[in-house]
Every structure is written in C-alpha cells, then in structure tokens.
Amino acid sequence: DAKTTQPNSMESNEEEPVHLPCNHSTISGTDYIHWYRQLPSQGPEYVIHGLTSNVNNRMASLAIAEDRKSSTLILHRATLRDAAVYYCILFDGNKLVFGAGTILRVKS
Amino acid sequence: DVKVTQSSRYLVKRTGEKVFLECVQDMDHENMFWYRQDPGLGLRLIYFSYDVKMKEKGDIPEGYSVSREKKERFSLILESASTNQTSMYLCASSLDRGSEKLFFGSGTQLSVL
C-alpha cells in the first residue's frame, strides 16, 4: 500500500484558514487522494477526495500538487467543531488504509 | 443519511469468551469493513466484504473471523477473546466496489479482562 506522511499535530485559531499538508511520494497513477476526519468519540467521516484536479465541497478544499506527490486539505475558516484527527489516505480502488493522521487543535 | 449501527457502544468480556460484534447498515451498501483502532497505531483493517457470503482478509485478520449472511449485516467474531484484542472496533460500509466514500459507525469499545 502506498504511504502518506502527515504532521503529528497542528494548531489553528478560530475563524482562520487551516492548511493540512500530506506527502505521498509513492502514489501511483490510479490512486485517489482521500481525506477523512475523526471527531472525539466518533467514527471517521468522509471529507473530500480527488485524483488530479483541485476539488471543493461544502466542508473543505483539496489542493493537489502537479506531480501528485503531495496535497493540502484547506479548511477555509476553522471553527471549534473542526478540532479532530485528519487522515490523508491513498485509495487504490480496493480498501482504505489509514495512517496516524494529524491532530488539529483549534483555539478560540 | 446513511446509518451504520454497531450493536454496543461498550462491551466487557473475559479472556477465552467468544465475542460477537454486530454491524448493520441501512442503505443497501455492497461493501462492509471492520477496523480496529488503538492509540498510536491508527485504524487497521481486519476484514472486509464485497458481497453476501464473501469475505477478504485485511491487514490484521489473525484471531478474528467474520460473517455476512445478509447484505445489511456484517459480524465480527472473536473466537477466543484475548487481552490484546482490547480495542475500539469500527464498522464501515460503502456503496460498491471502487466507491471511495466510507460511512462509519460510532464504534464499540471492547475490553477483554
């Protein structure tokens, strides 16, 4: 399984944008880049995914590097409810393999 | 909204007991998954199923088995529970093979004493 590398933790101020980085230098041409997040005491929830182009949805934006070896999840205005563990995952069409993720702390 | 329901939020069992963890989804999804989550190790895939009566091993299947007799239900079985199986167990489902979006249940915290 292709691996991803994320910082262990990040901190943000409320109402400010947050950029969560992910490196995936061994990504194959058919791997999709997925992001999930896990709020305290809950199962993970889907955030966004993409293949080559940048993607936007109501939760976040995903910026994918041109060589696809890295990507960034962007939360445009962090709120306290965004405090969670964020997982960057490469999906090969079969199964999702979760790494350790990034713990995002949001300060008021 | 898709709902994935795990039968118990907390479960305490004794070493050697046979343990059943049940998971039900209500959106006619073909795929179902069992993960366990441990501090510092993240989520690890135990077993998954693409169809009724089908199962495939994930990354850590040892000590576990699964059953999928009906499309909506996926059971995880610990034949003889051991203390190293104390963990948070998470069930998930997705629409079909190749579907990227997983829906997770809230988890079952299993303690084996």
Could A99 and B42 be called an inter-chain contact, meaning their C-beta atoms sit closer than 8 Å? Answer: yes
The pLDDT-based confidence of B17 (bands split at 50, 70, 90) is very high
In percent, the amount of chain B with pLDDT more than 90 equals 79
Rounded Cα–Cα distance for residues B79 and A15 (Å): 49
The pLDDT-based confidence of A2 (bands split at 50, 70, 90) is low
Whole-number pLDDT of residue A1: 59
Give, in order, the Cα–Cα distances in Å from B57 to each of A93, A96, B48.
16, 13, 7
Chain B interface disruption, residue of A5, A8, A30, A38, most B CBs within 10 A = A38
Whole-number pLDDT of residue A95: 73
Write down the mean pLDDT value for chain A.
92
Chain B interface disruption, residue of A3, A96, A102, most B CBs within 10 A = A96
Chain A residues with CB inside 8 Å of B100's CB?
Answer: 32, 34, 46, 49, 91
Please give the angle made by the CA atoms of A89, A3 and B93, to the nearest 5 degrees. Answer: 35
Rounded Cα–Cα distance for residues B64 and B110 (Å): 14
Whole-number pLDDT of residue A91: 84
The pLDDT-based confidence of B22 (bands split at 50, 70, 90) is very high
Could A99 and B4 be called an inter-chain contact, meaning their C-beta atoms sit closer than 8 Å? Answer: no
User: What one-character-per-residue DSSP string does chain A give?
Assistant: ----B--SEEEEETTS-EEEEEE-TT--TTPEEEEEEE-TTS--EEEEEESSS-EE-SS-EEEE-TTSSEEEEEESS--GGG-EEEEEEEE-SS-B-----EEEEEE-
Could B100 and A99 be called an inter-chain contact, meaning their C-beta atoms sit closer than 8 Å? Answer: no
For B36-62, write each residue's pLDDT tens digit.
999 878 889 999 999 998 999 999 999
For A44-84, write each residue's pLDDT tens digit.
999 999 999 899 999 999 999 999 999 999 999 999 999 99
Write down the mean pLDDT value for chain B.
92
Whole-number pLDDT of residue B69: 95
CA B70 to chain centre: 15
Whole-number pLDDT of residue B42: 83
Could A43 and B4 be called an inter-chain contact, meaning their C-beta atoms sit closer than 8 Å? Answer: yes
Whole-number pLDDT of residue B86: 98
How, if at all, do strands B4-6 and B31-38 pair?
A: unpaired
Whole-number pLDDT of residue B7: 87
Chain A interface disruption, residue of B102, B103, B108, most A CBs within 10 A = B102
Could B106 and A41 be called an inter-chain contact, meaning their C-beta atoms sit closer than 8 Å? Answer: yes
pLDDT(B1) > 90:
no
Could B35 and A98 be called an inter-chain contact, meaning their C-beta atoms sit closer than 8 Å? Answer: yes
User: What one-character-per-residue DSSP string does chain B give?
Assistant: ---EEES-SEEEE-TT--EEEEEEESS--SEEEEEEEETTTEEEEEEEESSTT--EE-S--TT-EEEEEETTEEEEEESS--GGG-EEEEEEEESSTT----EE---EEEEE-
User: By the 8 A CB rule, do B28 and B10 touch?
Assistant: no
Distance from CA of A98 to the nearest CA of B (A): 6
Rounded Cα–Cα distance for residues A76 and A20 (Å): 11
pLDDT(A3) > 90:
no
Could A96 and B45 be called an inter-chain contact, meaning their C-beta atoms sit closer than 8 Å? Answer: yes
Of B28, B11, B20, B23, give the one whose Cα is nearest residue B112. B11
Of B27, B41, B30, give the one whose Cα is nearest residue B90. B41
Chain B residues with CB inside 8 Å of A32's CB?
Answer: 100
pLDDT(B98) > 80:
no
Could A34 and B104 be called an inter-chain contact, meaning their C-beta atoms sit closer than 8 Å? Answer: no
Rounded Cα–Cα distance for residues B53 and B70 (Å): 8
Whole-number pLDDT of residue A19: 97
